[in-house]
């Protein structure tokens, strides 16, 4: 439902946007030279732009339901081919950044939540506050300068050299800096704070004290009795934050010349290639809805109380 509404709004906004896609196509083919109105009228008819907006939307939806995303105005390629070329790289970037965020936020938040050193806890909080106040593009440029320009540890952008075959090592070295920039620019400080707060709240609870009194190993107490329930706020926020992560990924792709959906969307917006833009919006919306669903499932798995419903006997007994 959300994706359907998003597609309607996007289709309407693109239809109301200034400019003429037919003119852009003809001027691109002619090398930027002006084109006549007669040629534009013929091109609009060929592109189906003379049809009313509801008719064009219905035809587009019918094609999408049959797996046909249409053809690019500028290149004439099937939009599905352009998406197939760009989407895997965006998903790779988002997946690596997600792993970095999970590992980093849980590790730092767990240290901050369990440490008895006030100085260490305040140092972590100050660092996360500073990181949260830094714009994402600034962090991306700093990482680029330090680790690519100054130290030379990672490439400055793209995927290897032109004509160079891609290997796992090249892909890994190329994705590291963009993924780190996306990680630190995507509410990383908030995630650390959520883990720290959740762990600190659970640490002094009755079931944790009982587990320690029974002589359970410290690692078992921390992972099963502290970390698992302490991650509930973090899991809920992380699932709903995928929309910001994708938006950040598109911006990071432009800074690092990453061949993903962000660069594809920018090129389509500049040339008014509406079929490509619509496909990017549709797929992004579907990914966000799916990620939110996964976040809700993860939250329910971490906190059994969320799975209780009115039909559950324990819920009825608790209510009575």
Please, what is the end-to-end C-alpha distance for the chain in angstroms? 37
pTM for the model stands at 0.76
- So what's the pLDDT on residue 137? 75
pLDDT at 316: 47
Residue reference for tokens 């996306």: 182
- In the chain, where the domains are located: 2-65, 79-313
Rounded Cα distance, 222 and 211, in Å: 10
Residue 219 backbone dihedrals phi, psi, to 5 degrees: -65, -40
Q: Please report the DSSP string for 22-61 in residue order.
A: HHHHHHHHTTT----HHHHHHHHHHHTTTS-HHHHHHHHH
Among residues 5, 3, 1, the alpha carbon closest in space to that of 288 is found at 3
The architecture CATH gives domain 79-313: Orthogonal Bundle (1.10)
Collapsed DSSP state (helix, strand, coil) of residue 78: strand
Region of residue 214 (left: phi > 0; alpha: psi -120 to 50; beta: else): alpha
Return the structure tokens found at 224: 């099963």
SS3 of 158, please? coil
Q: Where are the beta strands (DSSP E) in the chain?
A: none
Q: Which of 186, 190, 161, 185 is nearest to 173 (CA)?
A: 161
Q: Report, as ranges of residue numbers, the positions in the chain whose pLDDT lies below 70.
A: 1-2, 30-32, 160, 162-163, 186, 203-230, 236, 239-240, 242-243, 295, 298-320
Question: Collapsing DSSP states into helix, strand and coil, what is residue 71?
Answer: strand
pLDDT at 234: 74
Look at residue 299 in the predicted model and tell me its pLDDT.
65
Paired tokens of 207: 């079931």
Report percent pLDDT > 90 for the chain: 1
Tokens of 41: 């009228």
pLDDT in tens, 110-164: 888 777 778 888 888 888 887 777 777 788 888 888 888 888 888 887 776 766 7
Cβ-proximal residues to 291 (8 Å cutoff; 6+ apart), any chain:
239, 242
DSSP 305: G
Quote the pLDDT of residue 318: 44
């Amino acid at each position: 439902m959300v994706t359907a509404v998003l597609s309607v709004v996007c289709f309407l906004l693109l239809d109301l946007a200034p400019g003429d896609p037919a003119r852009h196509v003809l001027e691109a083919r002619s090398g930027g030279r002006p084109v006549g109105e007669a040629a534009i009228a013929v091109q609009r008819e060929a592109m189906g732009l003379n049809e009313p907006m509801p008719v064009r939307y219905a035809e587009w939806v019918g094609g999408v339901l049959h797996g046909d995303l249409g053809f690019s105005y500028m290149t004439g390629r099937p939009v599905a081919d352009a998406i197939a070329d760009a989407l895997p790289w965006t998903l790779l970037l988002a997946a690596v950044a997600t792993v970095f965020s999970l590992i980093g936020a849980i590790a730092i938040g767990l240290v901050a939540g369990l440490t008895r050193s006030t100085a260490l806890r305040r140092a972590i909080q100050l660092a996360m506050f500073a990181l949260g106040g830094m714009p994402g593009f600034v962090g991306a440029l700093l990482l680029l300068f330090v680790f690519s320009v100054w130290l030379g540890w990672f490439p400055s952008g793209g995927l290897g050299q032109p004509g160079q075959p891609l290997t796992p090592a090249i892909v890994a070295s190329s994705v590291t800096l963009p993924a780190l920039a996306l990680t630190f620019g995507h509410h990383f400080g908030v995630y650390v704070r959520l883990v720290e707060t959740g762990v600190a709240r659970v640490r002094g609870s009755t079931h944790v004290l009982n587990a320690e009194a029974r002589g359970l190993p410290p690692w078992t107490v921390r992972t099963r009795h502290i970390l698992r329930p302490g991650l509930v706020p973090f899991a809920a926020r992380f699932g709903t934050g995928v929309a910001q992560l994708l938006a950040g990924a598109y911006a990071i792709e432009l800074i690092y010349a990453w061949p993903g959906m962000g660069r594809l969307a920018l090129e389509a917006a500049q040339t008014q290639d509406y079929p490509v833009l619509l496909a990017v919006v549709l797929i992004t919306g579907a990914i966000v809805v799916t990620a939110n669903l996964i976040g809700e499932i993860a939250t329910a798995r971490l906190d059994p109380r969320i799975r209780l419903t009115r039909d559950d006997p324990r819920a009825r007994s608790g209510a009575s």
